[in-house]
Amino acid sequence: MKTVAFHNLGCKVNAYEIEMMQQNALKAGWQIVDFSQKADIYVINTCSVTNIADRKSRQMLHKAKKQNNDAVVVAVGCYAQTDTKGAQADEAVDIVIGNNHKSELVSIVEDYMASKSNNVVVEDLSRPVEYEDCGIDASILRTRVDVKIQDGCDQFCTYCIIPYARGRIRSRRPEQVTEEITGLAKAGYREVVITGIHLSSYGLDLLEEPTSYNAVAKKAFTNEALIDVIERVAGIEGIERVRLGSLEPRVITKEFLERISAIKEICPHFHLSLQSGCDDTLVRMNRRYTCDEYAQSVRLIREYFEHPAITTDIIVGFPMESEEEFERSKNFVESIGFYETHIFKYSRRKGTVADRMQGQLTDAVKSARSDVLEQICAVNKRAFETKLIGKEEEILTEEHIIYEGNTYTVGHTKNYVRMAVFGQLELNEFVRGQVGGFLQNDTMLLKTTG
């Protein structure tokens, strides 16, 4: 029996795809072992979003080879896609697999082990390609499951390598999405997270009528295809919560909100990518909205949902970001009142427009600005959670923790606030109660009413 160890780097989509590869390995009769153990095969699902991510990917590939020099080491994913020649030339790497062939991992490895040939399977993603249909089942039951329905990105933000790593947008057909989620629901999953590389573009490539790019883009951002698939997923028996991955603010229209607010399963948790609260910086980033348009999207969400969680990403220290521009960005972030904000110090990525820009800032400036935003965001988060005290909420139980010698059962509310109930309750069950305050900094206390 072959033994295989997996290691994942990067985003939620990568996490979904490595689970798919693990399940395919199990179905082939391979035994999965911990990455720290000696294995016959090591699979590293790489990331390439920054130069640092590339370096971490190479480090993990070398670590695998050191653990067993005779093992087959496989570089899969974004680093393998964007630097195929570099991965191929690396003595630690035996097989290189690009982003549209992860479902073929088992057959590629077995062919290589039999013949020691065909060790590079990377497709040119700069041209249109078919969506690589792949799915997961329920080998390990959890309460929440991510399901990828879209791949690729056509936005070409100046700091981002993803359009080159993932290729052009491509969408999974609705019937394939519902087939997978129906199986997951039958296996016991009750909450699904719909995700993709650029989820807001879902369905753009599925439009049948020939038309101009602008007309297609306009139709895509009326969100008909995305709303349709959300409604289909919500209608699957056994699925009681539907959560959405990251969205572009342009997706948030009255038409979109009218339809999804009518779906009782939808979670009022919206991750709207911002990146900067300064219009001048947004232009340099090639983001396709203004701060006013972003704020309008947030106002619309708050009209249709009571106390929704708005989360976002912010990049600090982008090239040429002046003190005045950072101050505008900081004030905008403060004014929106996000629930959670993921703050990233700008990291140069070879091959992007931003890497070649003048006005690169020092690490010290980036760190100082990051610290300022972190403090503001911590205040916003606590303010959002404090408003829940005394209200009735419901969690879907996920895990048990020990706190000050007592056992608690932890889960998340629909708007993704982490809460704990006293005692060791069954997992994957809904529990209602009154919010009583804070148990820990990152966990609120839910007092059951039963």
CA 312 to chain centre: 12
- Is 285 a member of any domain? no
Q: Would you say residue 243 has pLDDT above 50?
A: yes
Determine the pLDDT at residue 208. 58
Distance of alpha carbon 75 from alpha carbon 85, whole angstroms: 12
Indicate if the pLDDT at residue 59 is higher than 70.
yes
Averaged pLDDT, 248-260: 94
- Domain end, chosen from 238, 267, 296, is at 267
Q: Does a structural domain hold residue 99?
A: yes
Domain range for 222 is 124-267
pTM comes to 0.89
- Within 10 angstroms of residue 356's Cβ, the number of other Cβ atoms is 12
Q: Is the dihedral of CA 397, 441, 332, 302 positive or negative?
A: positive
User: Which among 246, 267, 288 is the end of a domain?
Assistant: 267
Residues contacting 231, CB < 8 A, separation 6+: 259, 263
Summarize the confidence of residues 204-209 as an average pLDDT.
Answer: 72
Whether 79 and 41 map to the same domain: the answer is yes
What residue type is assigned to position 123 of the chain? E
Question: Residue 353 — φ and ψ, nearest 5°?
Answer: -65, -40
Domain with residue 146: its CATH number is: 3.30.750.210
Q: Which of 267, 283, 313 is the last residue of a domain?
A: 267
In a shared domain, residues 29 and 158: no
Cα 295 from Cα 232, distance rounded (Å): 29
**pLDDT (tens digit per residue) in 154-170:** 999 999 999 999 999 99
* Beta carbons within 10 angstroms of residue 379's beta carbon: 12
pLDDT at 218 exceeding the cut of 60 = no
- Rg, the chain, Cα only: 23
Same domain, 237 and 133: yes
Q: Are both 133 and 247 inside the same structural domain?
A: yes
Q: Is the pLDDT of residue 220 over 50?
A: no
Q: SS3 for 64?
A: helix
d(CA 227, CA 179): 17
In the predicted model, what is the mean pLDDT of residues 380-385? 96
pLDDT digit string, tens, across residues 351-371: 999 999 999 999 999 999 999
State both tokens at 367.
């760190």
Domain-located, residue 396: yes
The pLDDT score that the predictor gives to residue 140 is 54
Q: Domain count of the chain?
A: 3
Q: Which amino acid is at 12?
A: K
